[in-house]
Structure 1
Amino acid sequence: MPVDPILSLFSDRFFMGSVAVYVLAMLMHAVEYAAARDAPAKVLVGAGAPVEAEAADPVEPPAPAGRTRAERFGRMAVSLTVLGVLLHLGSLVMRGLAAQRWPLGNMYEFTSAICLAAVVGWLVVLHRSPALRRAGVFVLTPVLILMFLAGTVLYAQAAPVVPALQSYWLVIHVTTVTLASGLFLVTGVASLLYLLSRSGKAAGLVAKLPSTDVLDRVAYRVTVVAFPIYTFAVIAGAIWAEAAWGRFWGWDPKETVAFVAWVVFAAYLHARATAGWRTNRAAWINVLGFAVVVFNLFFINMVVAGLHSYAGL
């Protein structure tokens, strides 16, 4: 099928536009973070790690007249993030229309879609817990790093996919993997910030973050949503493998690492429900899970040869 060069060009322009808007949003969040008041003071309980003096979500007290400078910049950052999402979504839609297929056929499209899922997931979290807005700069930073890599190292021209990917299972399997991976980015950042806050290290960097209780709850609740989606994606991949290669499981490198990631996230959810493991240990497991997802996305796709070698590079 011929590729529409005009739509492909507009897709690339929308992608670059979304990156530019995300950069502006990140800068606005950085200004908000710098101008915000410190989070509630931490007190030491026994010989343990610092614990927040207040467990409730910290909300910046309103200024006597109108909104504070930090709140104004924070609101502008969220508005810009929404605009970036619209441009980002438009980029993927036009890429699909240009190539006349589902726009998840190579590493450029897949990485871009993961970033979109992460930002949309973050906006949903903000809608439910506006006090988390101060962490926006830490969420958008890895998103922009991934998008920079997608637009440079991983970029591929719009083109039809190889015959092995011309299946409705591409829509089902790869889309669900994308959604789960984007949400895992949010949980990984939340757990990493949680660990930094509890360790007492980099105190100047994390002093204005929401309480550790809030960060922990975000990591857990988003993982609770992402894990079933990821589980379905693994099962759908096995069914697709049986249809394409005649077996449900063949210990292909990407299959194996995907299963390892599933085990790690299952261990995190179990640890969160186990006394003595629901704090730092559980958070470390969650960070490890996201690291495995990133390893599977880049190293396995780009370095290790296997049946899933469809990176488009």
Structure 2
Amino acid sequence: MDNKRRKFLTAATGSILIAPSLLPTSALGYENINNSVLLSEFDDVQSLLNNNIRVLILNPEVVYQWSNISLPSGTSIIGNGATIKTTSLTFPIIKIDEHSTNIIIKDVRFDGDVSTPINMPVQATHIGIEVYKASNITIEGCDFKNFLGTGISTFNYTGQKMSSAIQVRGCRFIACQYGFTAWYNCEYGILEGCHFTECRAAIFICSGNWLVTGNIVVKCRASYIATNLANEIAFSTGGNFSHGNVSNNTFNHSNDSPWAATPLQAGTTFENIAGIYFKNVLPVTFTGNALWYTDINISNIEDDFYFTGCTLSNNTIKVAGTSKVYLSGCWIRASVNYNNNDVIVH
């Protein structure tokens, strides 16, 4: 390692750039400097990982170009605000495969490297990070911009859904076809404190038992989708569907998103999916959410659905099926439209 990179690495592992608390315990102190590296744009990242490098420190002055990088267990990526652009529409930038565990990705700007995906066709394989049957994954403080597929895709298939422990916190999703996608038995994760702006569909949950809290969703055609149906990204389904907790989020201005009202795939058919959308699932705990200029569509849910302590303005609520929707302790403005036979206010 040359002196310049060694000096940057020394700074990055101390108090100047990177706090030691951000690093895995095994990396504190870096007694074995060969286990970590400050990456240049010319490094063969996969070869480094295959040779037991487990801490990748990025230079904020460098724009990296990656595709289909597979992270083994114990990997930490400390981004320092650096940008990673994809070099392919057919692979994720990063993939975390079956049985991988204890992976941390922080402060990276993931760029789909297309001018804008708005109103372009879905490219299901154009993904920022793909997580498959992995556990103890933390993605924090990252940006995902201009992906024709999804910023983050997490799915589990036959994995241990009760111990996947995926946490996505403080990330930004900008102008993606889908922002965050959890499907096929990927359960019991946390999506917290994230911003979604001008995505076609911000949050897609084809799974169950997620805690979705403190997020801000603005000008996304579909703010939140919960369904048991496959779509372009979630090509197969199974396991529990919905329940969980959706609380203290802001879902605003879906109705005037820049995305055209192009139908989204839902199973084998296409539907005009917009706003808040629940279909063929158990209700979630839906509390303390603000919904302005964002319509609500609920169909064939498996029990009565309670909205508690929410703010609703300039919405249309549509309900299909035998279950009712109850608005309990909500602030409801006169600009909210609904059928009194389907929606009960108390």
Q: TM-score range with shorter-chain normalisation?
A: under 0.3
Scaled by the length of structure 1, the TM-score of the pair is 0.26
The structure whose residues are more often helix, as a share, is 1
The structure whose residues are more often strand, as a share, is 2
Scaled by the length of structure 2, the TM-score of the pair is 0.24
